[in-house]
Structure 1
Amino acid sequence: MPLTSLSSSSANGFPDPDGRDLWFAMLGPLEMEVAGERVPVPGIRARSLLVSLLVQRNQVVRLDRLIESIWEAPPATAVAQVRNLVAELRKSLQTARGREVLETSPGGYRLVVADAEVDATQAEHCLLEGAAAAAEGDHHLALDRFSGSLALWRGEPLGDITPALARAWRPRFTELRRRAVLGLSRARLSLGMYEEAVTELLDAVVELPFDEELRLLLVSALHRGGRTTAALEACRETRRYFLEHLGTDPGPALRDLEVQILRGDALP
């Protein structure tokens, strides 16, 4: 599920940061700003509550689902504790120019937040613009948009929350970053920026070692940048790594790419 589908709101562009009422950052350690001031969210339970509301923003999140996101074995006082956490969060949000940001609804709560006020949605907005630019052949604009998407990342997403909540949502954020890296690398290859693409892809492969698409693009970047020997070694290393850790070969695309390089075919 794309992150944009997690919200019913939409935005035509994003305002200047100085004019934002609210800013929520999940692409790294969780951060919240209200009326331009950083507001701490202390405690793993408070952060988990806020993340649960953010990833399902503008939707009513049932009280029982919030409890599940905070405790694997909820205590008898879970309902009261969640209500206390909500009250503290609501108090922190009160300075947002009189807006009612955190609403109580039958059976749960709803966080009313615009797309422009969440870093993950802004990152995806940039990614979609980059993909559209690339499809139209405007690789300079694509480079700018994909770079803008990645610039919003500050570390591991959804930091300092409960393990169950991280397991449920972190893969979607990982995929967001992966798509941006792929788009940025392809834009760089189209512009002849081979070394920059190699550097980006080497880092990405360390983060996602079993991602064949990233590895294939790395091989292509090495070869197109004149490093054919390194490209072929990357093919062999990929095969060794998959056999050692997965007990199987990569898909046929790697072999096809290796054959193209050995034949001296021009790569797209």
Structure 2
Amino acid sequence: MLPDPLISLRNVVKTYGAGATAFQALKGVDLDIVAGDFVAVMGPSGSGKSTTMNILGCLDVPSSGDFKFRGFPIQTLDRDQRALLRRRYLGFVFQGFNLLARTSALENVELPLLYRGDAKTERRKAAMASLDKVGLADWWDHTPAELSGGQQQRVAIARAIVTHPDVLLADEPTGNLDSERSIEIMELLTDLNRTSGITVLMVTHEADMAAFARTIVHFKDGLVERIERKHRQGAEVAA
């Protein structure tokens, strides 16, 4: 029996546009995510996986249905309140790294703490600790141009976890990397999930990357098609 979910979606519908041009990206999604899980979200283009991740990341809101985080109804929050929730509880990693080109790895990792208003000494200490977690403490003064793609993604992950988020949302985090670097990033995410207890939600098109997750959610035509949950003795498939 699964514990109470950290995140819960119930009959979530997302419609873009109105009238004859309306498009229903989500058609009634039900999904529970427990704290500490590593979830891979898969599906073809247009299946609803990216829309769902945007809702889970509080970057978008459902047209109807219920979205609860820690039991709290997120649809009751306004834009500023959702932004505050993102800063406190969520971290984001993107396919394109999204690092500032002319600033050091340390300064890039510091950014979320700067926006939060933390003092400079505290920012530097936390950012160095975060870089150390991803194995880049010795590269703190290097700019993105002086780092490999895999190292840039590690800096992006360090930036995402520097605020100690409950949830790390990763959108195709290995999409711009070769196979060897991709495996390194997946091993890092797996280690962070296991040792730090961060809940990881990852969108990916690659089955070999999804295999690192403990739960794989398959989307099709705006709905959850099936869910695979892995156990020590193999994989259990739930509709």
| TM-score tier (shorter) | under 0.3
Which structure has the larger Rg over C-alpha atoms?
Answer: 1
Higher helix share: 1
Report the TM-score, using the length of structure 2 for normalisation.
Answer: 0.27
Higher strand share: 2
Larger RCO: 1 or 2 (CA < 8 Å, sep 6+): 2
